């Protein structure tokens, strides 16, 4: 690690209130694949991406959320707990928690991802949060992981259970349209804008052959989520009239 990378890691450890016994773990957790690839092209062979840590972090996060729900929602049936857990562990929720702890400021990104707004992209933030969770879990165990992050998951679990906030827009929209209209939303790619390294996708969301909303994103998945979110806002406005 160079001096700038070391400073970033120290700042991040201070921000989450956990000092790693093995700082290399959190360094790897913060390294996006674009950064790892870029550094290897410059001859740095020891810079790994956080992809393997993401795999473990996904399971570690599921564990602490499931334990929290089992303990704090004693009257909730399995189906309700599963629905809340899916929402809290969704990409949208993980990305929001990453923003809550300002994770984007500490990412190591390649130039292309930096230019295209990777520091605030849901997919990158969510994946990195999973990697950070894995790094804490490996370094300090499940109790340190809960100490650092559980309060964030718990807050959103409570808000989701009370209907105050929605994550996983596509799933929520699908549930609403099935219940109210007996129809599933349809997502259609209608445009691609910009050069190949900064391409934006535009998706049209239709319901019963009627255009409800358009969404944009740096991937088709992001564009669909954006369209679903806008459709939910529009439908909510119609229901509230």
**Residue holding tokens 């239709």?**
206
Judged against a pLDDT cut of 70, whether residue 179 lies above it is answered with yes
Residue 58: the pLDDT is 96
Residue 200 has pLDDT above 50, yes or no: yes
Whole-angstrom distance, CA of residue 126 vs CA of residue 122: 6
58-75: pLDDT as tens digits: 999 999 999 999 999 999
The reply to whether 5 belongs to the active site is no
- b (16+ CB within 10 A) / e for 174-195: eebbeeeeeeebebeeeeeeee
SS3 144: helix
Distances in whole angstroms, Cα of residue 50 to Cα of each of 14, 24, 40, 80, 124 = 20, 11, 14, 32, 11
Catalytic residue among 58, 127, 168, 222: 58
Residues 124, 108: Cα–Cα separation, whole Å: 11
Residue of 170 and 27 predicted with greater confidence? 27
Alpha-carbon span 227 to 235, nearest angstrom: 12
Single out the catalytic residue among 38, 92, 122, 130.
130
Going by the DSSP 8-state scheme, the letter that residue 189 receives in this structure is: E
pTM: 0.80
The side-by-side arrangement of strands in the sheet containing 200-207 is 186-193, 200-207, 210-217
Q: At what angle do helices 151-161 and 51-72 cross, to 10 degrees?
A: 60
Q: Tell me the pLDDT tens digit for each residue of 230-239.
A: 998 888 766 5
Residue 111: CB atoms within 10 A of its CB come to 11
Specify the pLDDT at position 237. 65
Per-residue model confidence (pLDDT) at position 241 = 47
Q: What is the mean pLDDT of the chain?
A: 91
Confidence of residue 7 (pLDDT cuts 50, 70, 90): very high
CA distance 8 to 108: 9
**Which domains can be identified in the chain, with CATH numbers?**
3-161 (1.10.1520.10), 170-239 (3.30.160.20)
Confidence class for position 209, pLDDT limits 50, 70, 90: confident
184 CB contacts (<8 Å, ≥6 apart)? 174, 177, 178
CA 52 to chain centre: 16
Our answer to whether residue 102 is catalytic in this structure is no
Residue of higher predicted confidence among 161 and 166: 161
């Amino acid at each position: 690690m160079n001096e700038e990378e070391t400073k970033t890691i120290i700042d991040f450890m201070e921000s989450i209130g956990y000092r790693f016994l093995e700082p290399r773990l959190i360094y790897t957790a913060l390294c996006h694949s674009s950064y790892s690839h870029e550094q290897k092209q410059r001859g740095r062979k020891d810079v790994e991406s956080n992809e393997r840590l993401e795999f473990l972090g996904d399971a570690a996060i599921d564990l602490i959320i499931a334990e929290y729900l089992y303990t704090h929602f004693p009257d909730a049936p399995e189906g309700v707990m599963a629905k809340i857990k899916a929402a809290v562990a969704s990409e949208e929720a993980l990305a929001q928690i990453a923003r809550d702890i300002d994770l984007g400021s500490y990412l190591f990104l390649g130039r292309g991802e930096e230019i295209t707004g990777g520091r605030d992209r849901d997919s990158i933030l969510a994946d990195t949060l999973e990697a950070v969770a894995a790094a804490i879990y490996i370094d300090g165990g499940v109790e340190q992981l809960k100490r650092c992050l559980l309060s964030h998951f718990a807050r959103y679990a409570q808000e989701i259970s009370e209907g105050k906030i929605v994550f996983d827009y596509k799933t929520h929209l699908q549930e609403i349209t099935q219940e109210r209209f007996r129809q599933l939303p349809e997502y259609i790619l209608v445009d691609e804008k910009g050069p190949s390294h900064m391409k934006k996708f535009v998706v049209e969301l239709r319901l019963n052959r009627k255009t409800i909303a358009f969404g944009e994103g740096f991937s088709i998945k992001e564009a669909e989520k954006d369209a679903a979110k806008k459709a939910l806002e529009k439908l909510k406005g119609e229901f509230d009239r």
